[in-house]
Amino acid sequence: MKTLELLPPNDTMYQALVDRDSTFEGIFFVGVRTTGIFCRPTCSAKKPARQNVEFFPSPNEALLGGYRPCLRCQPMDPVRRAPELIERLRAEVEKAPDGRLTDKELAALSIDPSTARRQFKRHYGMTFQAYHRARRLGRALREVKSGSRVDEARDGSWFESQSGFRDAFEKIFGETPTAAKEQGGLFAERIETPLGSMLAIADDVGLRLVEFVDRRALERELSILRTRLRTNIVPGEHRHLTATRKQLADYFAGKNLEFTVPLAPVGSPFQLRDWKLLQTIPLGETRSYSWMAEQLGDKEMRRAVGRANGENMLCIIIPCHRVIRADGTLCGYGGGLWRKKWLLEHERKWTGKASREE
């Protein structure tokens, strides 16, 4: 089980970076905005100015922040150097980070796909596909966060061409950036939290999506929103996003665990009923899948309930993390069981409640 370790103060981390303090190895990773590269705190490269860096608790978070690994300090690698095959795979990703490397393409490079998957997973603890997806999504989210114009996409970034940026953006968000800005209906903002980066999407009706950016289903969920609402996603500010950012900050700080931002989930009639029931589970308490099925009219619908919970796009705010097995064990959380455990413990800590299952 992964545990959450909050980062040290930014000034402390920056000083550790300047000093190349080895005691901070593994504690944080630093992204350099001017180069699009992330490093270890002990990297021997010239130190960037304070305003040009941001800090991450893990290499995966840095990838999802839109950064690529430094070739000098190898922040993706553990103490041992990566095998030649792993380095070659990463090099192939950087040739086309906005695309996908299929098994057929790997075979054409004389790389056995099954061997590649096995070695990558063993070395990094994440699949090759997950690494490539993080690079692809991180690039697009970085541009969403900055709101760059198309003709500015190359400046200070690692996109090889403007068309490359447009293609990457369109694959994730469904419209070219120019079209998105002209026709925008859904507004997107990246929000940093102690549990990792999240993407929030809203329109005038309400909040449509809040998800951890490393969730595997995120790209599919963006496609669902575009298709069902017949609109596109544009980087920008919106009053519901501002409210979401503040309320999430209050939630994680323990100041206020209740959410009041208007919600506008997109789903089937059964999903909407399921998500409405989730919102009735009190803070600091849990319910079972069986309880939910019975409340929805059929105690045999446990699997349907599980699927509907898994398709909830409003993570934390519609609290699917409060549903557990009847025996009290955790299961089925798209953001990862370690996050589910943390959220439940966080809510019990601030409400003073012990677990309650029905």
Pairwise CA distance, residues 344 & 215, whole Å: 19
- CATH at residue 343: 1.10.10.10
At 153 the pLDDT is 39
**Are 30 and 119 members of one domain?**
no
At 81 the pLDDT is 59
**Are 81 and 12 members of one domain?**
no
Residue 179 lies in a domain: yes
Detail the DSSP E strand segments found in the chain: 29-32, 37-39, 53-56, 68-69, 186-193, 196-202, 207-212, 233-235, 287-288, 323-324
Residue 263 lies in a domain: no
What is the per-residue burial (b if ≥16 Cβ within 10 Å, else e) of 21-55? eeebeebbbbbbbebbbbbbbbbeeebbeeeebbb
Residue 254 lies in a domain: no
**Are 86 and 63 members of one domain?**
no
**Are 309 and 284 members of one domain?**
yes
Give 68's strand partners. 37
At 5 the pLDDT is 45
| Among 33, 56, 72, residue at a domain's last position | 72
Pairwise CA distance, residues 134 & 118, whole Å: 18
The tokens 């308490």 sit on which residue? Answer: 285
**Are 107 and 179 members of one domain?**
yes
Number of structural domains, the chain?
A: 3
Give the chain's radius of gyration (CA, Å): 21
**Are 63 and 106 members of one domain?**
no
At 99 the pLDDT is 65
Residue 357 lies in a domain: no
pTM: 0.61
Residue 316 lies in a domain: yes
Pairwise CA distance, residues 155 & 5, whole Å: 34
Is 315 an annotated catalytic residue?
no
Residue 57 lies in a domain: yes
At 148 the pLDDT is 47
| Among 162, 183, 204, residue at a domain's last position | 183
| Per-block mean pLDDT, blocks of 10 residues, the chain (358 long) | 55 91 81 94 92 89 88 77 76 73 84 80 70 69 52 39 56 57 70 86 95 85 88 80 96 95 96 97 95 92 94 97 92 87 93 62
Among the listed residues 39, 73, 315, 320, the single catalytic one is 320
Pairwise CA distance, residues 191 & 199, whole Å: 6
At 115 the pLDDT is 79
Residue 257 lies in a domain: no
**Are 32 and 108 members of one domain?**
no
| Among 22, 57, 72, residue at a domain's last position | 72
**Are 81 and 165 members of one domain?**
yes
At 146 the pLDDT is 55
**Are 66 and 109 members of one domain?**
no
- CATH at residue 33: 3.40.10.10
At 178 the pLDDT is 55
Residue 232 lies in a domain: no
Domain of residue 291 covers: 269-351
What is the per-residue burial (b if ≥16 Cβ within 10 Å, else e) of 270-290? ebeebbebbeebeebbbbbbb
Rounded to whole angstroms, the maximal C-alpha distance in the chain is: 64
**Are 68 and 85 members of one domain?**
no
Pairwise CA distance, residues 349 & 85, whole Å: 46
- CATH at residue 130: 1.10.10
At 25 the pLDDT is 78
Q: For 122, phi and psi rounded to 5 degrees? A: -65, -40
**Are 286 and 332 members of one domain?**
yes
**Are 66 and 88 members of one domain?**
no
At 1 the pLDDT is 32
